[in-house]
Structure formats: structure tokens, C-alpha cells
Amino acid sequence: MANHCSYCDTRRPTPTPEYPDGTKLMIVQGEWYEFCESCGNDPQYSFISSVTGEKATMAEVLADLESAVNVSLEGES
């Protein structure tokens, strides 16, 4: 991981407990999103569902994806 926020252009953001590497990386439909904690929680960088119109920050989308993967993996035992 490059540890470079693509939104605020910060290189090597300060690690936090939620972002131990300084950034998180998410790939959605072939698009790469690397973001720091501040930008990940910023409503300015939200995804909007084309079906429901629901709006979610990058951090919320990533948490939902991680939760879905964890549930799926737990069910495979």
C-alpha cells in the first residue's frame, strides 16, 4: 500500500487505531480508492446508490463490505 490519500493528497498520513497504516484501500467495481481517516469519513467523498439514492461515506461502505465478507467467511466453516 502506498499510504497516500488520493483525496487530500497526504503522503503517509498519521496512523490511528482505526487506520494503523495511515490509509485504507478499497476496490469497488475495478476502481481503487485509497483514503485517510479524515477523507474516509468526509461526506464530500460519499458514494450515492443509483438504485436507492442512499448516501454513504467511503468508511461506511468499507465497513459494510468488511462485515459482509466476515459473515460470509464465518458461514463457510
pLDDT at position 38, please?
A: 95
Of the two residues 2 and 74, the one the predictor is more confident about is: 2
Confidence of residue 60 (pLDDT cuts 50, 70, 90): very high
Residue 5 has pLDDT above 70, yes or no: yes
Closest CA to 35 of 63, 54, 55, 73: 63
Residue 73 has pLDDT above 70, yes or no: no
39 dihedral zone (left: phi>0; alpha: psi -120 to 50; beta):
alpha
pLDDT at position 1, please?
A: 52
- The average pLDDT across 53-72 equals 87
